[in-house]
Amino acid sequence: MNAFAAMPPKSFEVKPKLDESGSSIGELLEISMGPHHPSTHGVFRMDVVLDGEKVVKLKPVCGYLHRNHEKIGENISYLASMPYTDRLDYFCSMTNNWAYALTIEKLAGLAVPERAEYIRVIMAELTRLQNHTSLIGFFVHDMGALGTPLMYAFREREKILDLFEEVSGARMMCNYMRFGGVRVDVNDEWLARTKQLVANYGRFLDEFETFLNQNEILLARTQGVSPLTKEQAVNASLTGPLLRAAGVNYDVRKVDKYGIYSRFDFKVPLGEHGDLYDRYMMRVLEMRESIKILNQALRDIPGGPVMDPKAKLRGFRPKPGEVYGRIESPKGELGFYIISDGGPNPYRYRVRPPSFINITILEDMCLGHRVADVIVILGSVDIVLGEVDR
């Protein structure tokens, strides 16, 4: 037996290209993009079949980071799941915490003090700022602008992460929220520094937009690439900036008005074409709206406690029942579905991961485009593999 027969599959393969009658009219190249490739944003693989440079078939392959998060959630207590949610979308641990806390509060009927609600909004919008900033950095990085724009973005992101670290003790794995409030209060000095950061953020965005909005390469690579219609986007359950870029007005902050979002004055930006440029602009415009929300929240934040005094974290046993709670995370609709049987652990613990569901129609987005565009299209979806694979 030939020892080479047992070698791992090749990363590429040449196949005959057949016409309708079945005769060969050329060659198709099947390549395996990833899983260990910087442009796939983690360990994500795509089986791509190319005709020349054009994509004729694309199958996403995921699960390289799978650890069965949901099974872990069923085997540990309600409180113990909170730090695990940080690891889902490790760019936005604050919003993950909030989605989980919100669901449990709905299940157990817990109230959240006023100050904690404001702190949650501030944290969530700061998370949105840093997620979208670094996403745009990665996005232009994927287009070939290596290094510099990403470093500009990361410089700003790091300032926000410093704020998170000061209040929660960790830059990314914040583990900050609890059912019935937040873990620790913020002080006035922290609020003043946040105000300062938010006041300066607009200037940074102006600068960033001056570099990018009219950039010839960015326009050529993004305008008209991978357009999505409203019907496609809705039917494929897309959420977040990707959906709104296609022109569908659906933002969970506006629809559900969870927390105290009904008190703030902000708009939901909408795109027209659903192409890559719209998806890029959507992030920029959402950041502008986040700054508006942050200004209002930092102005109005009241004093008082940050935890519901009746909330019981350890030995927490909610009554039987089931509940689905969702929030608008920077990547889309993040939901938790919990079934309680009255025990100390959830009977069923389910995460609705936005970036996993957003890649459902990755193939449709990429068909007919060039292989170099696949990287940019994937970048525009904004996936995090910790959440895709769970």
- For CA atoms 35, 131, 165, 302, the dihedral sign is negative
Q: d(Cα 68, Cα 70) in Å, to the nearest integer?
A: 5
Q: d(Cα 59, Cα 360) in Å, to the nearest integer?
A: 10
Nearest to 354 by CA among 374, 383, 379: 383
In this chain, which of 76, 145, 173, 323 binds other proteins, going by CB under 8 A?
Answer: 323
Other CB atoms within 10 A of residue 216 CB: 7
Nearest to 329 by CA among 365, 382, 281: 382
Q: Does 147 bind other proteins (CB under 8 A)?
A: no
The residue range among 32-40, 64-72, 118-126, 275-283 that interacts with other proteins, by the rule CB under 8 A, is 64-72
Q: d(Cα 58, Cα 275) in Å, to the nearest integer?
A: 19
Of 196 and 360, the one with the shorter C-beta distance to other proteins is 360
Q: Does 236 bind other proteins (CB under 8 A)?
A: yes
Q: Do residues 327 and 102 lie in contact, with contact meaning Cβ atoms separated by under 8 Å?
A: yes
Of 210 and 235, the one with the shorter C-beta distance to other proteins is 235
The residue range among 44-52, 132-140, 272-280, 316-324 that interacts with other proteins, by the rule CB under 8 A, is 316-324
Q: d(Cα 328, Cα 320) in Å, to the nearest integer?
A: 27
In this chain, which of 54, 155, 257, 319 binds other proteins, going by CB under 8 A?
Answer: 319
Q: Does 238 bind other proteins (CB under 8 A)?
A: yes
Q: Does 66 bind other proteins (CB under 8 A)?
A: yes
Q: Which of residues 344-363 bind other proteins (CB under 8 A)?
A: 348, 350, 352, 356-357, 359-361
Total residue count of the chain as it appears in this document:
390
Q: d(Cα 172, Cα 167) in Å, to the nearest integer?
A: 12
Q: Per-residue x/- mask for other proteins, residues 246 to 265, rule CB under 8 A?
A: --x-x----x----------
Minimum Å gap between C-beta 332 and other proteins is: 10
- For CA atoms 325, 247, 235, 284, the dihedral sign is negative
Minimum Å gap between C-beta 328 and other proteins is: 12
Q: d(Cα 64, Cα 45) in Å, to the nearest integer?
A: 9
Q: Do residues 142 and 376 lie in contact, with contact meaning Cβ atoms separated by under 8 Å?
A: yes
**Which single residue is written with the structure tokens 């960790």?**
170
The residue range among 26-34, 67-75, 78-86, 301-309 that interacts with other proteins, by the rule CB under 8 A, is 67-75
Binding residues for other proteins, rule CB under 8 A, total 46
Q: Does 333 bind other proteins (CB under 8 A)?
A: yes
- What are the residues binding other proteins (CB under 8 A)? 1, 3, 5-8, 62-63, 66, 68, 70-71, 106-107, 109, 234-238, 248, 250, 255, 318-324, 326, 333, 335, 337, 339-340, 348, 350, 352, 356-357, 359-361, 389-390
